[in-house]
């Protein structure tokens, strides 16, 4: 056992957060959420390929609902995520809120905790960018809000137990690349 004024000596016999220890409260929304994740997701793509009967094709605009909830702060948050931004503190400060309040808003509307909602949004965007483009991994990470290829690697390992190249190979089917344009 350590002697003196070491961390181990000071904290060996007592819990870090008071005598009872830290209490974690898991909440579950008891009413039906107003929105599903799919209702709120905004794709990063601006155009998609449309084929004519004679086999020719052209790019047409993708319908991007930038105000899916009609709630200004929530819609602003969705557009913030869609733009590849992920700094919750910066978003909350911009609206004069605390990050917990933004998380509570997301939870009330979707039944999904705020951090998990952001992770799901980022992972959907990563999947779309990996599947429909040949963007380099650093660009996919930047556009999805994960920031760096290392962060994207860790997120993909957490969610799918795959690397970015493995995930791209898993998702991409013949004809997928070029089906959408940014």
Confidence of residue 4 (pLDDT cuts 50, 70, 90): low
Which DSSP state fits 181? E
Q: What is the pLDDT of residues 84-103, one digit of tens each?
A: 999 999 999 999 999 999 99
Q: With respect to residue 95, please indicate whether it lies within any of the assigned structural domains.
A: yes
What are the structure tokens assigned to 72, written together? 């200004």
Helices and strands, number each (H, E), in the chain:
9, 3
What pLDDT was estimated at residue 9? 52
Q: What is the pLDDT of residues 150-170, one digit of tens each?
A: 999 999 999 999 999 999 999
Which residue has better confidence, 132 or 31?
Answer: 132
* Residues 107/29, Cβ–Cβ less than 8 Å: yes
Q: With respect to residue 17, please indicate whether it lies within any of the assigned structural domains.
A: no
Residue 172: Cβ within 10 Å count? 15
Q: With respect to residue 128, please indicate whether it lies within any of the assigned structural domains.
A: yes
The domain that holds 123 is classified in CATH as 1.10.10.60
Q: Which of 34, 44, 131, 28 minimizes the C-alpha distance to 82?
A: 44
**8-22, 28-42, 64-78: lowest mean pLDDT where?**
8-22
* Residues 181/59, Cβ–Cβ less than 8 Å: yes
Give the domain extent around 164: 29-169
Q: With respect to residue 132, please indicate whether it lies within any of the assigned structural domains.
A: yes
Mean pLDDT of 20-38: 74
C-alpha angle 181-134-149 in degrees, rounded to nearest 5: 115
Q: With respect to residue 176, please indicate whether it lies within any of the assigned structural domains.
A: no
CA 59 to chain centre: 27
Look at residue 11 and tell me whether its pLDDT is greater than 60: no
Q: With respect to residue 2, please indicate whether it lies within any of the assigned structural domains.
A: no
Domain count, the chain: 1
Q: With respect to residue 15, please indicate whether it lies within any of the assigned structural domains.
A: no
Confidence of residue 41 (pLDDT cuts 50, 70, 90): very high
What are the structure tokens assigned to 124, written together? 């959907």
CA 84 to chain centre: 9
Question: How far is it, in rounded angstroms, from Cα 2 to Cα 44?
Answer: 55
Q: With respect to residue 9, please indicate whether it lies within any of the assigned structural domains.
A: no
């Amino acid at each position: 056992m350590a002697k003196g004024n070491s961390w181990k000596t000071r904290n060996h016999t007592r819990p870090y957060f008071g005598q009872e220890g830290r209490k974690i409260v898991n909440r579950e929304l008891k009413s039906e959420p107003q929105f599903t994740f799919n209702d709120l997701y905004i794709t990063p793509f601006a155009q998609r390929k449309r084929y004519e009967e004679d086999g020719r094709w052209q790019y047409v605009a993708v319908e991007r609902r930038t105000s899916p909830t009609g709630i200004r702060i929530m819609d602003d948050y969705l557009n913030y995520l869609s733009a590849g931004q992920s700094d919750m503190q910066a978003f909350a400060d911009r609206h004069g809120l605390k990050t917990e309040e933004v998380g509570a808003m997301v939870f009330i509307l979707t039944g999904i905790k705020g951090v998990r909602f952001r992770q799901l949004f980022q992972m959907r965007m990563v999947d779309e960018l990996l599947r429909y483009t040949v963007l380099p991994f650093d660009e996919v990470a930047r556009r999805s809000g994960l920031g760096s290829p290392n962060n994207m690697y860790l997120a993909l390992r957490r969610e799918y137990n795959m690397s970015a190249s493995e995930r791209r190979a898993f998702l991409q089917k013949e004809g997928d690349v070029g089906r959408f344009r940014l």
